[in-house]
Amino acid sequence: MTPMYSSRRLAGALVMTLALVGCSPGASTAATPPVDKAPASSAVDTATPPAGASAGVAVARALPDFSGLVERFGPAVVNVQVTEKRQEAQFRGPQGMSPNDPFYDFFRRFGQPNGGGGGGGAQPRGNQPPQRGEGSGFVVSPDGFILTNAHVVNGATEVTVKLVDRREYRAKVIGVDTRTDVAVIKIEATGLPTVRFGDPGKLKPGQWVIAIGSPFGMVNSVTAGIVSATSRSLPNDAYVPFIQTDVAVNPGNSGGPLFNMEGEVVGINSQIYSQTGGYMGLSFAIPIDVANGVREQLVKFGKVSRGKIGIGIQPIDATMAEGFGLDRPRGALVGSVEQGGPADKAGVKPGDVITKIDGKTIELDAEVPALISNVKPGQAVQIEVWRDRTAKSFQLRTAELVQDGESPQKGGSASPEESSQLGLSVRPLQPQEKQQVQTEGTLVVEDVSGPAEDAGVQPGDILLGVGGKDVKSLADLQAAAKKAGKVVPLRIQRGERQIYLAVRVPEK
**Catalytic residue numbers, as ranges:** 151, 181, 254
DSSP assignment, residue 197? B
| Residues paired with 421 in a beta bridge | none
Helix (H) or strand (E) holding 104: helix 104-110
| Residues paired with 501 in a beta bridge | 490
Single-letter amino acid code for the residue at 443:
L
Q: Coil, helix or strand for 19?
A: strand
Q: CA-to-CA distance for 195 and 136, rounded, in angstroms?
A: 14
Give the count of beta carbons closer than 10 Å to the beta carbon of residue 386: 23
Q: CA-to-CA distance for 400 and 163, rounded, in angstroms?
A: 38
Single-letter amino acid code for the residue at 102:
P
Give the count of beta carbons closer than 10 Å to the beta carbon of residue 1: 13
Residue 455's contacts (CB-CB under 8 Å, 6 or more residues apart) are 490, 501, 502, 503, 504
As to burial, measured by CB atoms within 10 angstroms (0-12 exposed, 13-18 middle, 19+ buried), residue 262 is middle
DSSP assignment, residue 124? P
Q: CA-to-CA distance for 392 and 435, rounded, in angstroms?
A: 35
Identify the CA nearest to 461 among candidates 394, 408, 389.
408
Q: CA-to-CA distance for 202 and 122, rounded, in angstroms?
A: 47
Identify the CA nearest to 408 among candidates 442, 437, 441, 440.
437
CA atoms within 13 A on the CB side of 85: 4
Whether 144 contacts 250, CB under 8 Å: no
Q: What is the DSSP string of 341-360?
A: SHHHHHT--TT-EEEEETTE
Q: CA-to-CA distance for 92 and 128, rounded, in angstroms?
A: 8
User: Which phi and psi angles does 24 have, rounded to 5°?
Assistant: -165, 155
Identify the CA nearest to 273 among candidates 235, 315, 300, 307.
235
Q: CA-to-CA distance for 237 and 93, rounded, in angstroms?
A: 27
Whether 98 contacts 92, CB under 8 Å: yes
Q: CA-to-CA distance for 214 and 488, rounded, in angstroms?
A: 52
